[in-house]
Amino acid sequence: VKDGNDINEIQKAIRKGKKELYKPTLIIVNTVIGYGSSNQGTNKVHGNPLGKEDGKNAKLSYGFDHEEFYVPEEVYDDFANTCIKRGKNRFNKWSRLLKEYEKAYPELAKELQRAINGEYSLDIEEITKKYVPGFNDATRNTSLELIQEAAKQNPTFMSGTADLACSTKTEIIGENSFSVENYDGRNLVFGIREFAMVAMMNGITLHTGIKVSAGGFLVFSDYFKAALRMAGLMELPIIIPLSHDSIAVGEDGPTHQPVEQLVMLRSIPNVQVLRPADAVETAASWKIAMESSKNPTAIILTRQNVATMEQTSCDGVSKGAYIVGKEVNKLDAIIIASGSEVSLAMEAKTILLNENIDVRVVSMPSMELFEKQDDSYKEMILPKNTRARLAIEMASDFGWHKYVGLDGKTMSVNTFGASAPADVVIENYGFTVNNVVKNIKEIL
């Protein structure tokens, strides 16, 4: 479009674009910034108001010679005869089509309406029966099982990844990839472009009718931050499972080992972040994500195996933090942990008790969900008079001081990672039972 002020040319280009059914259409509209202003063509009209006099000059250049805040009647008439009339006609046409569909396919019509309304659910009662204490697997693998369950229970659920589906474990097994040749495909292949992936997820969700999940490596969440921020702003309940959650990635080294990404995700308003400790907490995290109607959800997953603990619970995850290891006689100190580090805290608890130090272990899969609880629950989990506290998480300690206070400590990662086998990296960064015991003793 050579002249951005030629409405007919713009409409002509849009009509032409709509005729293309299989490819995106790019319309380039040539305009002058601040057209009509005495400062047109400069950055002065971008960051500052035109002012009363220059604003009037701009209006006059459009042929708009009216008093302030006046809308001519022909504008109202044009809107009523085009937009409103067109909208009513299209709505009535859709309503007739929907009624015919409801008559022919009543059950499918109900399913369609639930999808359009965003009424998604996930029953995890049956699948969690297999996650008995001692069940040992990476939470990314458990997440893959939950994706299959979500797909089975919700026919309009789709899943994808920014490449490496075999590593991030996001594929709906047995389903094809969505493409222009296959609209029935339920796997979304985005390519290696995290920002575009989340931006597309936002568009899919705004359209309604589809619950969409797509993920990648946690460390690369920086690339989609701006799009996730928009999801939080627009209250779009997209799901982002993120694997390879810590320095336990190992040989891939510091470029692939997330340090500050958890902090970034937790800092975005309206986004809920869940870092499950085992298979049970992973199932609960997926249930929360699937049934969320306004919150984007990031589920943070391990590459390494973690054993399912006897004390973890789905109800506890829904509250953001809960007690997985209660003190036996007296409360000497509290260890707060997330993800794979919860089992480390539990091992240390046993050793400390043998030395007559009685600690409570709190699993905190989600700071956001915990903050939504009332004060009485928060006090029950983290009593104010117990100031000896240790937080354990293989990531930046930024944000944890809110829970450990001035007298507490953190076991965290505030430098970049290193390239070595996972066990070697974990030990060298101090995430050992002996170090947990040592830290608790120092705090006390």
User: Residues 298-312: what's their mean pLDDT?
Assistant: 97
pTM: 0.92
For 78-134, what is each residue's pLDDT tens digit?
999 999 999 999 999 999 999 999 999 999 999 999 999 999 999 999 999 999 999
> Could you tell me if 386 and 418 lie in one domain?
yes
> Could you tell me if 175 and 260 lie in one domain?
yes
| 62 is a domain residue | no
What is the number of H-type helices and E-type strands within the chain? Answer: 19, 13
| CA-closest candidate to residue 285, choices 345, 228, 242 | 242
* CATH for 295: 3.40.50.970
> Could you tell me if 135 and 277 lie in one domain?
yes
> Could you tell me if 263 and 299 lie in one domain?
yes
Whether the predicted pLDDT of 250 surpasses 90 = no
Backbone angles phi, psi at 158, to 5 degrees: -125, 150
Instruction: Tell me how far apart the alpha carbons of residues 127 and 146 are, in angstroms, rounded to a whole number.
Output: 8
| 213 is a domain residue | yes
Whether the predicted pLDDT of 244 surpasses 90 = yes
> Could you tell me if 290 and 398 lie in one domain?
no
Residue carrying the six token digits 């499950």: 276
Of 307, 328, 359, the last residue of a domain is 307
| 236 is a domain residue | yes
How many domains are contained in the chain? Answer: 2
| 56 is a domain residue | no
* CATH for 403: 3.40.50.920
For 375-401, what is each residue's pLDDT tens digit?
999 999 999 999 999 999 999 999 999
| 135 is a domain residue | yes
> Could you tell me if 167 and 261 lie in one domain?
yes
Whether the predicted pLDDT of 62 surpasses 90 = no
List Cβ neighbours of 329 (8 Å cut-off, separation of 6 or more). Answer: 358
CB atoms within 10 A of CB 40: 16
For 319-331, what is each residue's pLDDT tens digit?
999 999 999 999 9
> Could you tell me if 328 and 302 lie in one domain?
no
Band of the pLDDT at 68, cuts 50, 70, 90? confident
Domain containing 181 equals 127-307
> Could you tell me if 342 and 299 lie in one domain?
no
> Could you tell me if 293 and 397 lie in one domain?
no
> Could you tell me if 276 and 363 lie in one domain?
no
Instruction: Tell me how far apart the alpha carbons of residues 388 and 32 are, in angstroms, rounded to a whole number.
Output: 63
Mean pLDDT, rounded, of the chain: 96
> Could you tell me if 302 and 327 lie in one domain?
no
Distances (CA, A) of 252 to 49, 358, 432: 51, 38, 21
| 237 is a domain residue | yes
| 283 is a domain residue | yes
> Could you tell me if 277 and 328 lie in one domain?
no
Q: Which two tokens stand for residue 213?
A: 């999940």
| 270 is a domain residue | yes
Of 307, 328, 358, the last residue of a domain is 307
Of 307, 341, 376, the last residue of a domain is 307
Active site residue 194: yes
Choosing from 171, 194, 327, 393, which is the catalytic residue? 194
